[in-house]
Chains A and B, each alone.
Chain A
Amino acid sequence: MRKIKKATVLLSTLTLTASLLAACNDSNTESNNQAAANNTTKNETPAATNETPAANESTTPAPDAPVDGGSLVVGTFSDINTVNPIYIGDTSSGDLGTFVNANVYDIDRSNNLVVEPWSLASELPVISADGLTYTIKLKPEAKWSDGQPVTADDVKYTYDTIRNPDAGAPGISTVDKIDKITKIDEHTVEIKLKQIYAPFLYTLASSIVPYHILKDVPVKELEKNPYGKDPAKTITNGPWKWTKWEAGQYNTVEADPNYWGSVKPHIKTVTIKIYADQNTQTQALIKGDIDLVSSVPLTILDTVKAKDNINVVSQPGPQYEFIQFNFKGDNFPDKYVLFQSQKTRQAIATAVNRQGMVDNILKGTGTLLNAPFLSTSWAYDASAATNYAYDTEQAKKLLADDGWKPGKDGILEKDGHRFSFELQYNAGNARREQVAAVVQQNLKDVGIEVVPKAIEFSAWIDQNVTPGKFEALLLAWSLSNPDPDGESIFSSKYFPPAGQNSGWYKNTKLDELWVKGYSTVDQNARKAAYAEAAKEISTDLPYVFLYQYGAPEAFDKNKVKFDEADKPEATLGYGYFYHAIKWWTVK
């Protein structure tokens, strides 16, 4: 469930408007990712390690008492498609869904699956001893906005529909391990899996649809159904009701006076307003037209930070960037894989100034990463992965040890092969352009020639990434599900074109570790497997892992108020609205 950031599409096409504002091209356009609300479990690393002291301080509002009835205006930059949770696949729709759709389970700041007062379930799922059956109990008081109770039928219908290929639901792969869903009683559902698959737990941190409204709709017609598209016909179960969709302009939700939860929302009206791009949106925040934006472009970050009334939350999101190597001979001249030696790959990791990228290109808004596990994840073990500190001399030494010798033009050679490769990335992504230039210079310093090549995003994905045809590339993964499982992108079971291991990377030990990691629901056993995976992958380096990053959130601190416990959490999908039910607004 790792998706190539949809927003990179945004970026590549933004070249159109890039001429409009230089800043438009900024990397942070990418924060518009499609992280789903699915999330994680235990966390043993304090999330706060990611934050600068300034960020901590600035997100703490004055401790005044909550007031009811305020309004909140949020900026976004594309219209919604639907609020039907079965079909939500884009950030704007997901943002709106956060307010109107309750989740069966929620995720807390430390990535635990939890039952909040606003969750539909009454207790955590009970997992059978064999790890195959999950029993979910719903709160009897949970109701749809038309007064009907939320029942086991709703849960069964929702997951069965997502499972049905005719429905065309984007989340189909999140439920492909389900064998059978059984209604035990009005408020109890039992989900049986085909195999033990621990990441399934996070699938349950999602929203459901009303069976009593949709049961007679043919599944192929479901996507076209007004449910999710027409506010008047969309029955929801969250704290707010969707009341208005002004196409291309804004969406409004209002606190549902009949909301079933024991905790009621303080904010009466939430409006999500569409702006042409991040810059106009940020201007509107400065002007006071809107109260919160989920991402500020780095180019104007300093301007925004300088404003007295605006707080900036600088914590990277759930996405990381990397240099990927290709291991398939067909992609190289004479079928000679330049990166076949582990030592060579380690030399490249050592030669690249990753900290410099974080400081200068990300302006400090990112953090270094050594393995595909985010530091906020329970699977993260700080001591497991190898960190390659920037050291040109050490890199040169590693390359020499590995048999690379300088040729006539100073570029290294081995067995008659010149160390020169093409580094691909998507055109129009300013961040990657800068990173590619740094990589080119850093590797030139150790005698490796890098030819950066920018390609239009869609064409690139179609013709190079998906079929695995490239020498090396620069890309990012956005973790829509923070489960540490990485099988689908690193295992040799998933070679192109069907799978997403587009570098044709094969490591038998790692292949087994991924299976070991998801084949138990015992979290300590899982943690051990992923620590081992982190060690193996950071030694073997199918990627040079660069950094975790994300655009900073900003809000009007004189208007938007919350207690410290309810502040936004950037590392969660839609975490910029974390605990919004407890926020209040003044003015």
Chain B
Amino acid sequence: MTEYFIKRVLQSALVLLLIAILSFLLIHAAPGGPKTIYLSPGLSNEAAKIQAHNLGLDRPLPVQFFSWLGNLLKGDLGYTFKNHVPVGKIVWPTIGHTMILMGTAWVLSLLIAIPWGIYNSTVEYSLSDQTASFVAYIGFAMPTFWFGIILQELFSLKWDLLPLSDMYTMGKEGNLPNLLLHLVLPVSVLTLGFLAGYSKYARSSMIEVMDRDYIRTARAKGLPERRVIFRHGLRNALIPIVTLLGLDLPILVAGAALTESVFNWPGMGRLFVQMAISREYSVLMAITLIVAVFVIIGNLFADILYALVDPRVRLDRKGGSA
């Protein structure tokens, strides 16, 4: 287990380094990179050169890269190009905001989707099952932002029941009931999106498992149906779901750019869009890296959970790479 863990962490570090190099190169190769955006038309050439020098943008790329990487290892994400605001000051608060929004939607959708999907697997093509399919199709087909706008139009502008956007009413920062009110609409939108995938997944995974020989065996030896479903069926059906959860983990951090934008939620998704618009590449690089870290953690997490729920996956030399 330990050896496997170390191996995975080392692999992850390597992947992260590659991602860092790649994102750095891509961003520096992009037309209108940090240099051009900084050097606005009002600046004379002379002043522009001094500016570029002050920012270190006239140094060779590898030098710039290692200096950036060095600062990164010290936890310094750098400064914005436009006005030397520390990137961390901008990025870190948004992660928390995004996790509140995405976390709520995620947990809620799991709490609904998995039991519902499992139940539906036992009553295939019943009204409940049909409803679930219908909801899933809507969830898949309806663009989240569109659904968001409809909800805003009805619940906020027309009936004035819920806040239109933002995380808190101004001046009520940190007030929990206020936060919950603001969560209702965006969470509904996101939950519908998650729900569609998870409920379908849970149902089909369960149906597939319930068809297996060992379930038939369990039934044949006279176990109560309840025990067959929960003890033998569910445990196996959860394996692919767990994988899915691990892979979805980074979304909790990265946020949903569109939903966050529509509801003006001050999260990382909205930040990414805004920073892309103003070409603040240092912030974009920071966000890319943070998300990459979570992707890797998510994968690692999925692998470990996988091993825990599936005793066939052994965390030894052989099974480790499963």
Q: Which residues of A are in contact with B by a Cβ distance under 8 Å?
A: 1-4, 6, 9-10, 13-14, 16-17, 20-21, 73, 77-79, 81-82, 87, 89-90, 93, 165-166, 168, 170-174, 176, 220, 223-224, 229, 246-250, 271, 273-277, 280, 283-284, 286-287, 289, 456-459, 461-463, 480, 498, 500
Against A, the Cβ 8 Å flags (1 = close, 0 = not) of B137-171 are 00000000100010010001100000111110010
Q: Is B258 in contact with chain A by the CB < 8 A criterion?
A: yes
Please give me the residue from chain B that is nearest to A228 by CB atom: B83
Q: Are B40 and A3 in contact (CB under 8 A)?
A: yes
Contacting residue for B42 out of A3, A78, A166, A286, CB 8 A = A3
Listed stretches B85-93, B217-225, B298-306; interface member: B85-93
On whether A283 and B152 interact (CB within 8 A), knowing A229-B85, A248-B271, A458-B31, the answer reads: yes
- B200 interfacial contact with A, CB 8 Å: no
Determine which of A170, A229, A459 lies in contact with B32 in the assembled complex, contact meaning CB atoms within 8 Å. Answer: A459
Report the minimal beta-carbon distance from B255 to chain A, rounded to whole angstroms.
12
**B31-83 with Cβ < 8 A to chain A:** 31-32, 36-37, 40-47, 50-51, 54, 79-80, 82-83
Q: Name the one of B54, B266, B278 contacting A168, with C-beta atoms under 8 angstroms.
A: B54
Number of A-B contacts (CB under 8 A): 147
CB distance from A320 to the nearest CB of B (A): 16
Within the complex, the shortest CB–CB distance from A475 to chain B, in Å, comes to 12
Contact A457 B32 (CB under 8 A): yes
> Which chain B residues border A77 with CB–CB below 8 Å?
274
Known: A81-B83, A459-B32, A498-B45. A283 touches B261 (CB 8 A): no
Is B270 on the interface with A (CB-CB < 8 A)?
yes
Nearest B residue (CB) for A13:
B277
Task: Apart from A9-B32, A82-B83, A275-B165, list 17 A-B contacts with CB within 8 A.
Answer: A2-B41, A3-B41, A20-B258, A73-B170, A79-B274, A81-B85, A165-B50, A170-B42, A171-B42, A223-B84, A229-B83, A248-B266, A271-B170, A284-B264, A287-B156, A289-B166, A498-B45
Q: What is the minimal beta-carbon distance from A423 to any residue of chain B, in angstroms?
A: 20
17 residue pairs bridging A and B, Cβ less than 8 Å apart: A3-B40, A10-B278, A13-B279, A17-B258, A79-B274, A87-B83, A170-B42, A248-B93, A276-B260, A276-B262, A276-B264, A280-B165, A284-B164, A289-B164, A458-B31, A458-B36, A462-B31
Please give the distance in Å from B274's CB to the nearest CB on chain A: 6
Does residue B173 face the partner (Cβ distance < 8 Å to A)? yes
Cα A201 to Cα B105 in complex, Å, equals 57
On chain A, the residues within 8 Å of B270 by CB distance are 248, 276
Report which of B93, B94, B273 forms a contact with A17, defined as CB distance below 8 A.
B273
What is the interface size of chain B, counting residues whose CB is below 8 A from a CB of the partner? Answer: 54
A168 touches B277 (CB 8 A): no
Cα separation A327 to B82 with both chains bound (whole Å)? 35
List chain B residues, Cβ under 8 A from A9.
Answer: 32, 37, 277-279
**Closest Cβ–Cβ distance, residue B291 to chain A (whole Å):** 16
Once the chains are docked, how many angstroms separate the CA of A4 from the CA of B37?
A: 12
User: In the complex, what residues of B have CB within 8 A of residue A229's CB?
Assistant: 83, 85
Q: A247-B90, A271-B170 are known contacts. Are A78 and B266 too (CB-CB below 8 A)?
A: no
B276 at the interface (CB under 8 A from A): yes
Residues of B within 8 A of A10 (CB): 277-278
Given A223-B83, A247-B93, A287-B156, A280 and B261 touching (CB < 8 A)? yes
CB distance from B13 to the nearest CB of A (A): 31
